[in-house]
Amino acid sequence: MSTMAATGPLTTSPTPILRVEDLHVRYGGSHILQGVSFDVPATGVTALLGRNGVGKTTTLKAVLGLAPRTGGVLLDGSDITRWSVTRTVREGVGYVPEDREVFGGLTVEENLRLVGGDVGADAAIVGELFPDLVNRREQRAGTLSGGQQQMVALARVLLRPNRLLLVDEPTKGLAPKLVTEVADVLGRVAQTAPILLVEQNLPVVRRIADTVVVLDAGQVVYRGAADDLMSDPDLTRELLGVSMRREARQ
């Protein structure tokens, strides 16, 4: 497996919004992340890729502080490894978890008011990006479709000013039309806040990602421009075990 790009410069951006240095995560007897290092540029979408179980979700959780971590995590130059999850989020790191994790017993409006103070579903950004949610403000989030729940999960982090968004598999389990909608939203959001995106859907990565970081067995094995990886079928197959042509047909 090629590790050439992984041993090169951490980033092409002179001032990364996020720098991860020698990050380790251990759960019980398992060493999940084994010295992960990469940068997230201050603009655009950085996709965190890799096969199932290599530590992508754990990396996002470790950045936020939801996983026990050692090593360095710098947000805009500030060391955040001792910060609480709450402080990290309040300092501008938004998190959209895998499987949405909306509060099913709360209405759409209540889900949004949790983070948005008194703006909720009436916030301009909600109306602009998720007009369907405005009409469903009184509906319990647990009764929404998967795509609608994903919109709630995205909308509630966008109600805060973000310096960085951590988004974990936002298209997982969604119908193709909804995948396109979510990708469109992420592309628009990335114009105002950089995104560190965990995504298995390679056409989505090809469409919106600028840079990629590939993990394998808890280590970074590739980092570079998204186009470079996506335009190289052999490298894609080698690193991710999939063919871009097959992905594109799906």
Partner 1 sequence: MSDIVLLVVTGVGLGALYFLAASGLSLIYGLMGVLNFAHGAFMVAGAYAGWLTMTGLPDTLGVTVRLALAIAVSVAVGALIGLVVEVVLIRPLYRHHIQQVLVTVGLSLAAVAAIQGIWGSDAHPLEKPRWLASTTRVAGAQIPTDRFLFIAAALLVFGALLALLHFTRLGLVIRAGVENRTMVEALGINVHRTFSVVFAIGGAAAGLAGLLGGVYANSVSPLQGGSMLIYAFIVVVIGGMGSLTGTAVAAAAVGLVQQLANYYAASGVGDLSVVLLLAVVLLIRPASLQGAHS
What minimum distance in Å lies between the beta carbon of 193 and partner 1? 15
Least distance in angstroms from the C-beta of 194 to partner 1: 18
50 or 65: CB nearest partner 1: 65
Q: Indicate the angle between helix axes 146-158 and 176-189, nearest 10 degrees.
A: 10
Answer whether 224's CB lies under 8 Å from 236's CB.
no
Nearer of residues 110 and 122 to partner 1, judged by Cβ: 110
- Nearer to partner 1 by Cβ, of 66 and 134: the residue is 66
Closest separation in Å from C-beta 133 to partner 1? 17
Residue 11 or 88: which CB sits closer to partner 1?
88
Position 29, amino acid: G
3-state secondary structure (DSSP) of residue 25 = strand
Query: For residue 35, is it left (φ>0), alpha (ψ between -120 and 50) or beta?
Result: left
Min CB(105)–partner 1 separation in Å: 6
Residue 50 falls in which region: left (phi positive, over 0), alpha (psi -120 to 50) or beta = left
66 or 74: CB nearest partner 1: 66
- Give the angle subtended at the CA of 167 by the CAs of 97 and 77, to the nearest 5°: 115
- What is the SS3 assignment for 37? strand
Distance of CA 181 to the CA centre of its chain: 16
Which residues make up the interface to partner 1 (CB under 8 A)? 64, 66, 84-86, 89-90, 95, 97, 101, 103-106, 110, 113-115, 156-157, 160
Q: For residue 107, what is the DSSP state?
A: B
Q: How far is the CB of 153 from partner 1 (least distance, A)?
A: 10
